[in-house]
């Protein structure tokens, strides 16, 4: 299995544990041609999210919650069949899995603090509004005539 690029980092020092990845290969669907029924180029990569020890507990809970709709018995499955070579599909699947986990384990965004608008600015806005409305009111031809 050499030639595979290094461990796929999820975030920081945490990366996908090679030992916990379950690979399955099958023939890709799509149009036929020479050599088509002989190579198992579609890759299915499974990762048991519920049982893994590789992720910090907090991350794991977060990922289980966020990916709930994609999990089957706590197992996350990623398929790749874009490329004609199995090796490139394996790369794609691993990268995709790492990206999924990175997104699912990301900390929740910080709550937004509303911006304080200085009083002077607010007062100026109201003053300008009033001036504008006076200008417009002055345009109506009521008292001409």
CA distance 119 to 112: 21
User: Which residues are paired to 22 by β-bridges?
Assistant: 46
pLDDT band at 37 (very low <50, low <70, confident <90, very high): low
pLDDT average, residue stretch 12-23: 75
Q: 């088509």: which residue's tokens?
A: 36
Closest CA to 76 of 87, 58, 64, 86: 64
- Angle, alpha carbons 94-62-90 (nearest 5°): 5
pLDDT average, residue stretch 32-51: 74
Contact 42, 129 (CB under 8 A): no
The pTM of this model reads 0.60
CA distance 42 to 81: 5
- pLDDT attached to residue 5: 55
* 51 pLDDT above the threshold of 50: yes
């Amino acid at each position: 299995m050499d030639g595979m690029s290094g461990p796929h980092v999820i975030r920081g020092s945490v990366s996908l544990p090679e030992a916990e990845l379950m690979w399955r290969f099958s023939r890709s669907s799509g149009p036929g041609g020479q050599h088509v029924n002989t190579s198992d180029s579609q890759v299915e990569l499974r990762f048991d999210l519920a049982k893994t020890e590789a992720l910090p507990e907090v991350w794991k809970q977060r990922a289980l919650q966020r990916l709930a709709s994609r999990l089957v018995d706590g197992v996350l499955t990623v398929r790749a069949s874009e490329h004609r070579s199995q090796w490139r599909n394996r790369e794609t699947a691993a990268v995709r899995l790492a990206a999924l986990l990175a997104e699912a384990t990301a900390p929740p965004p910080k709550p937004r603090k509303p911006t304080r608008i200085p009083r002077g600015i607010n007062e100026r806005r109201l003053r300008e509004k009033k001036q504008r409305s006076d200008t417009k009111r002055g345009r109506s031809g009521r008292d001409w005539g």
